[in-house]
Every structure is written in structure tokens, then in C-alpha cells.
Amino acid sequence: MTSQRTRERLIQRLCEEGVANPKVLDAIRRTPRHLFVDEALAHRAYEDTALPIGHNQTISQPFMVAHMSELLLEAGPLDKVLEIGTGSGYQTAILAQLVERVFSVERIKVLQDRAKERLVELNLRNVVFRWGDGCEGWQALAPYNGIIVTAVAPEVPQALLDQLAPGGRMVIPVGPAGETQQLMLIVREEHGFSRRVLGAVRFVPLLNGPLA
């Protein structure tokens, strides 16, 4: 169930759903998603579905990982990307193959520690991790050319807007937890921010405060 043929079926499905960026598809193809879920769920790793990873968190649906990555890269290559919500590390691993540097913040330390181990195992070494409150971003290393948020916020955190470089892009789900939310693309323009609503999604909530 973790064979190359199974992975190719997933790639075919993503193409049918509209993912077109060849670099994103190649990163999904190369990345062993079964390493990012519990062994008991490994047989479902290449289904196009979100799966539980403990601590009331999920590994995102492959289509959503591909879609958000593609949106981030829509205007060209990115040097420096901030990820809010390391989670299992799967989205982190995809980003690490697509951009120069990834800075990933996670509030649940045990999840981030496991994610670090997985990325070392895959020899992905252009990622720096921080255990902390994702709502605050990572001010010390700002600004970022791209920001990707993998949990839903009731509104876009001002701290993240402030940390976006001129011309930078943010992909973030916005809306009430537990209900239908909207995926948004925000671009920092010369005189403010442009916002594009991209469709309905459902994500776990972005919560304040680190958790050991």
C-alpha cells in the first residue's frame, strides 16, 4: 500500500483535481507520506484524505498540501517561507523541496520533535524549527517571502501580515473553527494587502500558547 504505483495513483488524482505545478507534483511523488502517519494508518497514507496524528491534529489532505504549495509558488520561486503549524511535518517536507529555506513554528512540542526526526531521516536540512505560538509568527527572522498557515484563524493575525515581505504571499484558512472556512491568498502590495478568496475548506483551529 506504500508502493510507487500507489503514489502514482495519488498523483493522477491530484492532476485530475487541478494541481498542475510539476515541481509540486514531483515533491508529492517523492515524499513518503506513510512515514508521517502512525503505522496503523500507513495503508491509508496515499489516499487523498486528512488523517489523525494525535493531539487533536491531522495530517492535511494531499490535495490541500499541493494546492496551498502551488498557490504560494504561483508568482515564482521563493527564498524564505514561514510555516505556521509543523504538525506531522509533511507539508514542511514538501515545502523544503520547493523553496530555499523553511522556518516552521509549532505549539505542540511532541509533534514538532517527531517532525524533526522525519525530516532528518529524509535528509531535508533547509528547515529551522521553533516551538511557540504560531499566532505570533517568528518576528526575529522576518520578513518572509511566503507564509503558509495550516490551521484556521478567525481572522488573519496582524503579526503575520507585519512579517510578510513586500510582494510576499500568504496562504491561510480563515473562519470559525468547526464550520466551513475560506482559504485566502493575501499578497503584500506597495500600499497594503490584496486578498483573494479561493474556496471553502475545513482546518483544525489555530490556537494560542505553546504546549509541551
Give the catalytic positions in this structure: 60
Q: What is the dihedral of CA 64, 66, 71, 77, to 10 degrees?
A: 150
Residue 134, phi-psi category: left (phi > 0), alpha (psi -120 to 50), beta (remainder): alpha
Alpha-carbon distance 182 to 203, whole Å? 10
Alpha-carbon distance 20 to 15, whole Å? 6
Contact 103, 84 (CB under 8 A): no
Extract the C-alpha cell encoding 126.
533547509
